[in-house]
C-alpha cells in the first residue's frame, strides 16, 4: 500500500467502523482499494489513522451534519470534557511542483538517448545542468521555477538536431570532453560529457521546493483553504487543522534559513493572521537513521497553538499531546511510499503489501523464510531458480543439506505478524530418518 501496512490499515478500518456511518466506512475502503494517485492514497491513510487516534481519546463524529453545506472532518469531544473541537484534515504534497519542474523526466530522457553510446562501448559520464528562470526583481519572494520545457517539448527544444550533432562529435572523438548548451525561450540547460568519469547521468539544478514566502506556498495555501471551510460552518468554538505530510519538502525544513522559510515560521504566520484557528497539528513520518528499516521511521507530531489558544480546554490540549501514542507504526517514509505506490500500480500489484521476500535466516536446525514467498512459489508465481537466488539458497541450501544428512522436516511453525504484511515460516528438522537414509 503506502506507509502503513495493509494489515494495520485493515485493523484501523475495522475499529473506525464503530463510530463511522456505513457509508463513510465504505468510502474509506473504496479510496484505499482504488486510489489512482499516490496523494489520494496517502491522504486517505492519514485520515483513517487520525480518526482512529482521536477515537481512542474521546468521542469522534466524522463529517457531522450541519445546517451549512460544509462538513468538517472531525468533531471531537475529549473524554471527561464537554467542549468540542471542529477539525479539518489536509495532506500537502510537492507533486505539482515536480510536475511543473520535470527535471527527473529530463534526466531519464537524457539517459535513454545516450544508452546506444554505452552499448557501443563508450565510457564516461554526463552531467545535466539546469538553470532557474529569472525572477522578478520587484518580487523577491517569487517561487523558483526551472528553465526547462514541458515533457512533451523536450525533443523540440533540447533533444533536437543540435543534440544529435553533440552525440556524433562524442562518437568521433570519445577521448575529448564536450558540452552541449541550450538557451532559448523554453530552456536554459547544458549537457557535459566527461570521458574520465564513471558511466551515468548526474543532474544539478537549483531547489524549486524552497519557500521564499511565508504566505505564498503549498502549506500556507492548504491551511488558508481549510480555515475558510471551517469558517463556512457558521459555528463558533474551537477550530483546528491537522496538517499531514504527503511528501512535501517543507516538512523536512522546520527552521528558516537565509533563502527560505521553514515550516514553523509558515505556521506561525498563518496562526497570527487567522485568529479563529486555535491550533495546527502537523503529522509526518520521520526517519531516525540512514538505514531503510522499519525501526528507523516513526510518526512525528507537533501541535502549534495560537497565542491565546482560543478557549481550548486543558483536556483537549492533553489529548492533542497524546495523539502520537495512538498512531500506528509506519513502515517507510512518505517519500518512499510514493515511489512504492507508483511501482505497485505499474506492476498491477496494488493489493499487495510489502513482504519478507528474500529474507532467510538459519539457527541450528531451524530455517525461517517468508510465508508469502513460499506460497507464491507453490502457486506457480515464481520459478524455483528465482526463489532460490532471491533467498541465497542457490549457494548454500540448508534444505538440501538436511535432506542429504537424512533429516526431514519435523515441524513447521507460522510466526504471525499483526502489523507486517507477511508471516515467517519456521521449518524445524529432526534427527536422521531411515526414510531417506541408511539404517543405523
Least confident of 30-34, 66-70, 263-267: 66-70
Read off the pLDDT of residues 71-99 as tens digits, 9 standing for 90 and up: 899 999 999 898 899 999 999 999 999 99
Q: How confident is the model at residue 135 (pLDDT cuts 50, 70, 90)?
A: confident
pLDDT of residue 218: 94
Q: Please give the Cα distance from 344 to 358 (Å, whole number).
A: 18
Read off the pLDDT of residues 38-78 as tens digits, 9 standing for 90 and up: 568 899 999 999 999 999 999 999 999 887 778 899 999 99
Q: Which residue has the cell 538553470?
A: 131
The interaxial angle of helices 38-55 and 22-34, nearest 10 deg, is 140
Q: Return the exposure string of 301-321: e unless at least 16 CB atoms fall within 10 Å of the residue's CB, then b.
A: beebbbeeebebbebbbebbe
pLDDT of residue 217: 93
- Domain spans of the chain, in order of start: 6-94+212-339, 97-204, 355-432
Read off the pLDDT of residues 142-154 as tens digits, 9 standing for 90 and up: 789 999 999 999 9
Nine cell digits for residue 116: 546506444
**Contact status, residue 32 vs residue 44, Cβ threshold 8 Å:** yes
- Is the pLDDT at 292 greater than 80? The verdict is no
Amino acid at each position: 500500500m503506502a506507509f502503513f501496512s495493509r494489515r494495520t490499515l485493515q485493523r484501523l478500518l475495522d475499529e473506525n467502523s464503530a463510530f463511522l456511518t456505513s457509508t463513510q466506512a465504505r468510502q474509506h475502503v473504496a479510496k484505499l482499494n482504488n486510489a489512482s494517485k499516490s496523494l489520494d492514497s496517502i491522504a486517505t491513510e492519514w485520515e483513517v489513522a487520525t480518526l482512529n487516534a482521536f477515537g481512542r481519546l474521546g468521542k469522534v463524529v466524522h463529517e457531522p451534519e450541519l445546517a451549512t453545506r460544509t462538513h468538517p472532518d472531525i468533531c471531537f469531544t475529549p473524554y471527561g470534557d464537554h467542549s468540542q473541537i471542529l477539525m479539518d484534515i489536509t495532506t500537502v504534497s510537492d507533486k505539482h511542483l515536480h510536475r511543473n519542474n520535470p527535471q527527473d523526466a529530463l534526466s531519464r530522457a537524457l539517459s535513454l538517448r545516450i544508452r546506444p553510446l554505452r552499448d557501443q562501448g563508450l565510457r564516461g559520464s554526463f552531467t545535466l545542468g539546469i538553470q532557474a528562470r529569472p525572477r522578478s526583481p520587484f518580487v523577491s519572494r517569487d517561487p523558483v521555477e526551472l528553465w526547462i520545457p514541458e515533457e512533451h517539448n523536450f525533443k523540440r527544444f533540447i533533444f533536437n538536431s543540435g543534440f544529435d550533432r553533440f552525440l556524433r562529435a562524442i562518437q568521433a572523438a570519445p577521448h575529448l570532453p564536450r558540452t552541449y548548451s541550450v538557451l532559448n525561450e523554453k530552456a536554459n540547460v547544458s549537457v557535459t560529457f566527461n570521458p574520465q568519469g564513471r558511466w551515468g547521468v548526474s543532474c544539478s539544478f537549483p531547489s524549486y521546493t524552497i519557500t521564499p514566502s511565508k504566505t505564498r506556498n503549498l502549506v500556507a495555501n492548504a491551511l488558508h483553504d481549510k480555515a475558510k471551510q471551517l469558517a463556512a460552518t457558521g459555528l463558533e468554538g474551537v477550530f483546528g487543522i491537522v496538517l499531514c505530510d504527503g511528501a512535501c519538502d517543507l516538512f523536512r525544513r522546520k527552521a528558516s534559513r537565509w533563502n527560505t522559510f521553514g515550516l514553523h515560521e509558515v505556521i506561525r504566520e498563518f496562526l497570527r493572521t487567522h485568529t479563529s484557528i486555535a491550533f495546527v497539528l502537523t503529522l509526518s513520518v520521520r526517519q531516525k537513521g540512514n538505514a531503510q528499516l522499519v525501526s528507523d521511521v516513526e510518526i512525528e507530531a507537533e501541535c502549534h497553538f495560537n497565542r491565546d489558544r482560543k478557549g481550548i480546554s486543558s483536556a483537549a490540549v492533553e489529548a492533542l499531546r497524546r495523539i502520537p501514542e495512538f498512531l500506528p507504526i509506519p513502515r517507510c517514509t512518505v517519500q518512499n511510499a510514493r515511489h512504492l505506490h507508483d511501482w505497485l500500480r505499474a506492476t498491477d500489484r496494488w493489493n499487495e503489501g510489502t513482504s519478507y521476500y528474500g529474507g532467510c535466516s538459519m539457527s541450528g536446525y531451524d530455517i525461517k523464510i517468508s510465508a508469502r514467498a513460499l506460497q507464491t512459489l507453490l502457486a506457480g508465481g515464481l520459478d524455483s531458480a528465482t526463489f532460490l537466488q532471491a533467498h541465497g539458497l542457490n549457494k548454500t541450501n540448508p534444505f538440501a543439506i538436511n535432506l542429504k544428512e537424512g533429516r526431514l522436516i519435523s515441524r513447521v511453525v507460522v510466526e504471525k505478524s499483526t502489523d507486517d504484511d507477511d508471516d515467517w515460516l519456521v521449518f524445524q528438522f529432526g534427527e536422521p530418518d531411515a526414510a531417506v537414509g541408511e539404517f543405523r
